[in-house]
């Protein structure tokens, strides 16, 4: 007797939709499996995860040679309500490793394996999220990203996550907002422990494009000063600005590409397609400081970033040309209400 593969009909789903769902499920399982295997690359230097309480908000970070940024970064998120930091140090040589080991609310892992081979660090973070993030609100950011959300000046992060819990939401979006100085980037010196936005206070209020990714269901945002100054000839090569950095983690979740999108697909539905608005924030991005010249030169040699570090090649070339990001349309940052007025963040129904 010959057996034929049956074509199963599902209400409201065609064969193509079923195939896409299966592809996403397999991709999610593959990413989780990668993270589990890559755990062997991580060596714990200070594992304080036993201190984590059941309702603690956690912050996950991969870094390399970010010593100067660390004091302000940690203080910023401590004040916001993060209770524990889980950090992967990718072979830093600037003293940041020893600094983090002394921090009582930091658990630190070290690796000298390739950043690129670990999906630009997301395999390492994926394992830590799986192992320690389950049932916690988890904030995954870079050391130069600073979350701003509605009412952040008077409501801690726990107020936001509590409201998200009460409304059944499990993910929170934040557009990456590039901040820059008014003068040359190479003159924008930020001392250790200093607020970088005292130096890089300006941003683009518009000049952003948004598309929808049909496979993953997320929004894809590009534009701003990096596209304007470094990718003007090919705007579609500019960096993505859409992020979903805050997630109530589950063992079946996985980031697909940095924090731009996740699986399952429903976590990416952080917007309203019917004319309304859902709550959202911004990640103020403190990349454009005097340290960028040395960083871009190093990354050209290491080639550990996406697309053989094409983004850092553009920065390196632009800085040598004397590119300035400030223009007549630039706005000086005044706070979250200004971003709401410009349509860059939204309170949605969180009044």
Report pLDDT for 220: 96
Distance CA 273, CA 214 (A): 13
Mean pLDDT by 10 residues, the chain (351 residues): 33 70 97 98 98 98 97 98 98 97 98 95 98 98 98 98 98 98 95 97 96 95 95 90 98 97 97 89 97 78 59 78 92 98 96 81
Return the number of other C-beta atoms located less than 10 Å from residue 305's C-beta: 16
CATH class of 16-143: alpha beta
Report pLDDT for 67: 96
Report pLDDT for 302: 65
- The dihedrals phi and psi of 335, each to the nearest 5 degrees, come to 140, 180
- The dihedrals phi and psi of 151, each to the nearest 5 degrees, come to 70, 15
Report pLDDT for 318: 77
Tokens found for residue 66: 């970010």
Distance CA 186, CA 319 (A): 8
SS in 3 state form for 211-260?
EECCCCCCEEEEEHHHHHHHCCCCHHHCCCCCCCCEEECCCCCEEEECCC
Tokens found for residue 231: 């990718």
Report pLDDT for 301: 66
Return the number of other C-beta atoms located less than 10 Å from residue 163's C-beta: 16
Place of tokens 């496979």: 215
Distance CA 190, CA 133 (A): 32
Report pLDDT for 11: 43
Query: Counting beta carbons within 10 angstroms of the beta carbon of residue 139, is it exposed (0 to 12), middle (13 to 18) or buried (19 or more)?
Result: buried
Report pLDDT for 170: 98
Report pLDDT for 312: 75
Report pLDDT for 3: 28
């Amino acid at each position: 007797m010959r057996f034929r593969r049956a074509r199963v009909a599902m209400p409201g789903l065609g064969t193509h939709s079923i195939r896409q769902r299966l592809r996403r499920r397999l991709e999610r399982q593959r990413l989780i499996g990668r993270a589990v295997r890559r755990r062997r690359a991580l060596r714990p230097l200070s594992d304080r995860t036993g201190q984590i309480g059941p309702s603690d908000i956690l912050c996950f970070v991969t870094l390399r040679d970010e010593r100067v940024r660390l004091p302000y970064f940690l203080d910023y998120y401590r004040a916001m309500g993060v209770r524990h930091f889980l950090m992967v140090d990718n072979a830093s040589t600037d003293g940041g490793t020893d600094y983090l080991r002394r921090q009582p609310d930091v658990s630190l892992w070290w690796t000298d394996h390739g950043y690129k081979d670990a999906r630009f660090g997301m395999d390492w973070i994926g394992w830590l999220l799986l192992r320690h993030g389950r049932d916690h609100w988890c904030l995954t950011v870079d050391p130069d990203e600073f979350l701003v959300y509605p009412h952040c000046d008077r409501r801690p992060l726990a107020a936001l996550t509590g409201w998200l819990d009460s409304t059944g939401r499990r993910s929170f979006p934040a557009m990456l907002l590039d901040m820059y100085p008014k003068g040359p980037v190479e003159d924008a010196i930020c001392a250790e422990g200093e607020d970088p936005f005292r130096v890089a206070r300006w941003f683009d209020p518009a000049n952003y494009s948004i598309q929808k990714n049909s496979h993953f269901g997320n929004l894809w945002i590009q534009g701003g000063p990096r596209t304007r100054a470094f990718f003007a000839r090919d705007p579609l090569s500019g960096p993505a600005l859409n992020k979903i950095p805050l997630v109530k983690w589950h063992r079946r979740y996985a980031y697909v590409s940095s924090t731009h999108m996740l699986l399952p697909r429903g976590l990416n539905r952080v917007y309203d397609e019917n004319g309304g608005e859902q709550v959202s924030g911004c990640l103020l991005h403190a990349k454009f400081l005097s340290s960028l010249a040395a960083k871009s030169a190093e990354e050209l040699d290491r080639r550990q970033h996406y697309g053989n570090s094409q983004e850092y090649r553009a920065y390196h070339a632009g800085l040598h040309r004397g590119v300035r990001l400030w223009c007549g349309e630039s706005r000086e940052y005044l706070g979250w209400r200004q971003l709401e007025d410009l349509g860059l963040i939204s309170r949605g129904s969180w009044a």
